């Protein structure tokens, strides 16, 4: 079972219907079970029942999660597959020593995949939907998968199954969610 961690500013917000539920729908269509939980309701004790976790995105001006980064300290010890989408990528970067930086992008953009990976596949160009005011710097021990140093589109940890993407696969690239579900 995959846990979808809702990073929206409050429990049961309307934003969850845009940023969490579509991910659950995509996983269900791929034959994978998931359940959603708000990040403020999560405890480390409940993590053992999940095989994988997806940190979901938030609305454009919703950065409340960044005021509660201590709630994500468990990520440093998590050894199972983890995917951060948009705000989720920002959380992963911050936990591993990267920075959240201003970088507004809205709409469809070309994304250059520069490194082969189980999540994104081989090197090529794809199109992805962006909706964010912030990006990240590449943390130590992470490898750039898409973009460039000044504009990180996707990354992965060098030793652990931890991935981050700044764009929204639930909008345009559901195949990424399907690939993650098969890890």
Dump pLDDT digits (tens) for 83-94. 999 999 999 999
Q: CATH number of the domain that 153 lies in?
A: 3.40.50.880
Query: How many domains does one find in the chain?
Result: 1
Question: What does the pLDDT read at residue 54?
Answer: 98
Instruction: Say if pTM beats, i.e. exceeds, 0.75.
Output: yes
Residue partners of 108: CB distance under 8 A and separation at least 6: 127, 128, 129, 130, 172
Q: Quote the tokens at residue 88.
A: 């989720």
Residues designated as active site: 86, 168, 170
SS3 percent helix, strand, coil of the chain, rounded to 5, is 30, 35, 35
CA dihedral 44, 17, 120, 60 (to 10 degrees): -90
Residue-number span of the structural domain to which 87 is assigned: 2-181
Instruction: Please provide the average confidence, as pLDDT, over all residues in the chain.
Output: 94
């Amino acid at each position: 079972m995959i846990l979808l961690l809702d990073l929206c500013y409050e429990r049961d917000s309307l934003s969850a219907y845009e940023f969490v539920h579509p991910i659950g729908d995509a996983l269900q269509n791929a034959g994978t079970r998931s359940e959603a939980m708000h990040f403020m309701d999560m405890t480390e004790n409940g993590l053992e029942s999940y095989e994988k976790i997806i940190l979901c995105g938030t609305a454009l001006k919703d950065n409340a999660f960044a005021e509660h980064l201590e709630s994500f300290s468990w990520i440093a010890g998590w050894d199972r597959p983890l995917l951060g989408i948009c705000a989720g990528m920002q959380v992963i970067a911050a936990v591993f020593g990267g920075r959240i930086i201003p970088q507004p992008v809205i709409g469809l953009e070309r994304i250059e995949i520069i490194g082969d990976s189980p999540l994104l596949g081989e090197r090529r160009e794809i199109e992805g939907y962006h909706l964010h005011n912030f990006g990240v710097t590449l943390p130590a021990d992470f490898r750039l998968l898409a973009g460039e140093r000044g504009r990180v589109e996707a990354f992965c940890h060098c030793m652990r199954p931890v991935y981050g993407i700044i764009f929204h696969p639930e909008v345009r690239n559901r195949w990424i969610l399907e690939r993650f579900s098969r890890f």
